[in-house]
Amino acid sequence: MTTMQPASIDRIADLRNMPAVADTGLGAVLDSFRDAVLLVDHQGIVACANRSAEQLFQIPAVCLIGTDCLNLMADRQSRGFLDYLRGMLLSGEGGRPGATVELVGRRPGGTLFPIEVTSGRVEQPGDPAFTLVIRDIGQQKAREKELREGANRDRLTRVATRAHVEQLAETELFRASRYDRPFSVLLLDIDHFKRVNDTYGHAAGDFVLQEVAGRCRLLVRASDLIGRWGGEEFLVMTPETALEGGQALGERLRKVVGETPVVLESGESLRVTISVGVAPYLAGDDDLAAIVGRADAALYRAKAKGRDRVELADPPPKSLKPAA
């Protein structure tokens, strides 16, 4: 990473003699901007910086002036940015002043943060210059991420929504089909959940849902996905996992839910169990519904056999086979 050093006095004097900087009132005008503003020559060297730029990049003006503007950006993000300015703005071919791009800013010590840069051409005799109006969009990006995650997560249990599971399933089914890779689905249902609601109330039922989801979420791998399928049902997609691996995961989930009672807000301890149906991807499955249907049938058998157990989907017909 390039270290910021104060520019030489001669260099600063040369840059301040640029026609665009010559006006003695320019600094005061730029300091009135809330956003960071840099005036940059045709080589990308900073000629003028306002106070907001000092605060944004946490660098004194004496160090900003005379430095390459690309030193203020992450290398991978800024690569080609100056060429873009020269080609699209300074030449006036195909570009428009005021074009805005998202880049990554860099502060001393290597701290990176998202920025929005609006660039504009400065008309003057000789080589043209350009302005960079720079805004920290870290909070905006954080809000956008929160909204995306909120749309993809069930509000109560904080696991994925059914819609998000179905969306991601398309990718996993493609991988399983294209590369002949194993892929299993687990369908989990909380046993006697209606009794919990009827006996302890819906608030207690919501708490049980949160507890079960939280315990399962901690147990699945980062590559797995757990989502709320509906009501008291949860679905786990587990790539690179054949039927036997899915069964083992189902047993671990069953145990982690049932071995520790759920303590309600009232102080009462409630033993909660789940039943699990496991089904593998079969060659020819073209959507998640086919696999879920087999897992649901296995789940139904688990309920019929006494609950708190894991059941596997029926073996496939001879014409079909699980992924290797």
Q: Which residues are catalytic?
A: 232
Tokens of 320: 């079909």
Helix (H) or strand (E) holding 99: strand 99-106
Q: Which residues of 125-161 are buried (b: 16+ CB within 10 A; e: fewer)?
A: eeebbbbbbbbbbeeeeeeeeeeeeeebbbeebebbb
The CA distance from 279 to 301, in Å, is: 13
Residue 230's contacts (CB-CB under 8 Å, 6 or more residues apart) are: 162
Tokens of 249: 């995961």
Tokens of 209: 């849902």
The CA distance from 169 to 175, in Å, is: 10
Widest distance between CA atoms in the chain: 88
Q: Which amino acid is at 201?
A: G
Backbone φ and ψ for 230, nearest 5 degrees, come out as 155, 135
